[in-house]
Amino acid sequence: MKTNIIKLVFIASFFLMFLPHGFAKGVYQTTEQFISQVIGEVPKAKVLWLNAQDKLEIADILSHSFNRLRIRYWQTDEDTVWVLDEIGKEKPITIGVHIQNNQIVKLKVLTFRESRGDEVRHEFFTKQFNLAKLTQDNRLTTHIDGITGATLSVRALTKVARLSLWLNNKALH
């Protein structure tokens, strides 16, 4: 009996070693929930059309090509909300960004599909983006501290923050 229990504990421990990698994945909030949380009633989506020069600027921000013709966003007065995907290591991370007066008010990971690096979804990390603006060379005005083991996820969120501010500037001016 005692050896059976020891075997069972050993087998269970062996399988549990592999489980944490699957726990990082998840949908934490839908697009509609995020929009209603940050600006109230969800307005009708607007569309920002991109030309060839815009795509070059975006490719510079993202460090890879960008082939979409348009991007949806939501706006009320001076508030805009952008929901964008960016690849972490291998899979897209869906990120919501609320911008007001050309600065980030809230950035939130809505869906995380990678097997690790999900620490970026926590408020202790995302609040670093609050009040960030974009410099003339498309960099953030605030320094973003990284997270050990989540470097690619941190980069993805930083790229989306920069891109959202750039898109906001283009949409409002």
Q: What is the pLDDT of residues 155-169, one digit of tens each?
A: 999 999 999 999 999
Specify if 167 maps to a domain.
yes
Range of the structural domain that residue 72 is part of: 25-172
pLDDT the model gives residue 16: 47
Residue 151 has pLDDT above 80, yes or no: yes
Contacts of 7-15 with C-beta under 8 Å, sequence gap 24+, read none
Name, in order, each residue with C-beta under 8 angstroms of 47's C-beta and a sequence gap of 6 or more: 70, 71, 72, 73
Nearest in space to 86 (alpha carbons), one of 119, 110, 116: 110
Specify if 75 maps to a domain.
yes
Specify if 138 maps to a domain.
yes
Residue type, 130: N
Specify if 17 maps to a domain.
no
Residue 4 has pLDDT above 70, yes or no: no
Greater model confidence, 103 or 12: 103
Rounded to whole angstroms, the Cα distance separating 13 from 15 reads: 5
Q: Which residue has the tokens 């009633």?
A: 41
| 72-113 residue pLDDT tens | 999 998 899 999 999 999 999 999 999 999 999 999 999 999
Q: Which residue has the tokens 């060379």?
A: 137
- Proportion of the chain above pLDDT 70, given as a percent: 86
Burial of residue 120, with CB atoms counted within 10 A of its CB: 0-12 exposed, 13-18 middle, 19 or more buried: buried
Residue 22 has pLDDT above 60, yes or no: no
Specify if 34 maps to a domain.
yes
pLDDT the model gives residue 103: 98
Specify if 136 maps to a domain.
yes
Count of structural domains within the chain: 1
Give, for 16, the enclosing helix (H) or strand (E).
helix 2-16
Q: What is the mean pLDDT of the chain?
A: 91
Confidence of residue 23 (pLDDT cuts 50, 70, 90): low
Q: Alpha helix locations (H) across 17-150?
A: 20-23, 31-39, 52-62, 123-126
